[in-house]
Amino acid sequence: MGVLTVLSIDGSERAAVVRELRWYAEYRRGIASDLLTPALGEEDDACGLVATRPVENMALSHVNWAGDCELLAGHIERGGLLQLTWQDLGLLHEVFDNAEADQVPGKMARIVEYVRDACRSRPQPGNAEHEHATAGFYLIDQDTQSLSG
């Protein structure tokens, strides 16, 4: 078994991450909507793009990202011990990288660093077989006493 790395977070840190994930989910849904909804005064295309299969696929990709954000937010919100996959870490990294510096609460600084450090140790990015593999990184509530729980 590899090395396990655990970050203990408190309720306000958990709430801040959940809030950021849900904000990013809405942001991604908005992009999908913009791709598929005609702009004011245009009847047949959105953002100057005709709703072709590639445009629909781009929109679906944004909707899938939003769903992944919501799912991860739900897992984090429940608290307890959460074993992160490489996909989870990549998603958190994306969310934090796209947040405006003044929008990321100070409470998230430890989590942002934890995710960045974890992503540096990631095996070959984009390798589908590793995406859902557990990464050896965990989030746990501060009031949880052990991992055997």
pLDDT digits (tens, 9 = 90+) for 4-51: 788 999 998 899 899 999 999 999 999 999 988 865 555 555 555 566
137 falls within a domain: yes
82 falls within a domain: yes
45 falls within a domain: no
21 falls within a domain: yes
94 falls within a domain: yes
Inform me whether the pLDDT recorded for 149 exceeds 50: no
71 falls within a domain: yes
Contact call for residues 131 and 87 (beta carbons, < 8 A): yes
pTM for the complete prediction? 0.80
Q: How many domains is the chain built from?
A: 1
56 falls within a domain: no
pLDDT the model gives residue 130 = 55
Domain housing 126: 5-25+65-141
pLDDT the model gives residue 118 = 87
107-132 per-position pLDDT tens digit: 788 898 899 888 888 766 555 555 55
52-108 per-position pLDDT tens digit: 888 889 999 999 999 999 999 999 999 999 999 889 999 999 998 887 666 666 778
131 falls within a domain: yes
